[in-house]
Amino acid sequence: MATSGLASAAVSERRGRLRSTRHLGRELRLWARRRLVDELHDRWDGLGVTASVHAGTRRAARFAAFGDGSLLCFPWTALYNEGAIRIGTGTMIGPFVSLSAGMIPGQALLSDDVVRIGDRCLIGRGSSIVGHFSIDIGDDVYTGPNVYITDQNHGLDDLAMPIGRQWPAPERAVRIGAGSWLGTGAVVLPGVSIGRGVAVGAGSIVTADLPDFAIAVGAPARVVRYRGGGAPPQGRDGPTAAS
């Protein structure tokens, strides 16, 4: 009986040590996994700055112009034909932005001046600027996240063919005046000229020209009032945008 009791105690002790070892193994694996996740998070956060494009980097050299103090944040979603894109000084383009000239990488373009973004601009995260002919964004233009700006649209005329397979409609130049602000999710369609100091409300779709200092909202965007409460001020040569 004594021998049997000792054997049972020994078995119980071994089982206890095995459970402890297994528990320790699980704790070590969880600790190692947490360390790995924390390290990945730290590296990802750091890449937002260290892997960004700025003047002096090889990626910046691909651009037709990339001004001092400007930053294209990592990661981006689409970035190609930079040789037709010009970025001014002190401009910040947020992460997850699409910035392109033409339809496909390597496409022969008409000029090296398809997309122009001025000085001291801020382009919100997740936005898309898709140029084929001419998109001109003036100095000090700010956008919220997920803004879409393009100078080309799908063709719609052939009822027998899916819209996505139709030849694109002719490109029409887009201009956004200095000091303007586009709210979150705003869309600027081909052929639009937005004046100076214009505020476009979140979610608005701009399909027609907006005069200087207008405040426009809706789909399609319509002027609801002017900054300062009056008519758009006259420049030296009259209004600088259609009113």
Asked if residue 167 lies in contact with residue 145, where contact means CB atoms within 8 angstroms, the answer is no
CA atoms within 13 A of residue 133's CA, in its CB half-sphere: 15
- Say which DSSP state 236 is in: B
In whole angstroms, give the CA distance from residue 99 to residue 72. 10
Asked if residue 169 lies in contact with residue 152, where contact means CB atoms within 8 angstroms, the answer is yes
Largest CA distance in the chain: 112
195 C-beta neighbours (distance < 10 Å), count: 25
Report the amino acid identity of residue 54. Answer: H
Is 154 among the residues known to form the active site?
Answer: yes
- Say which DSSP state 211 is in: -
**Among the options 23, 41, 132, 154, which is catalytic?**
154
26 C-beta neighbours (distance < 10 Å), count: 10
Torsion sign, CA atoms 113, 200, 90, 82? negative
Q: Which residues are marked as active site?
A: 154
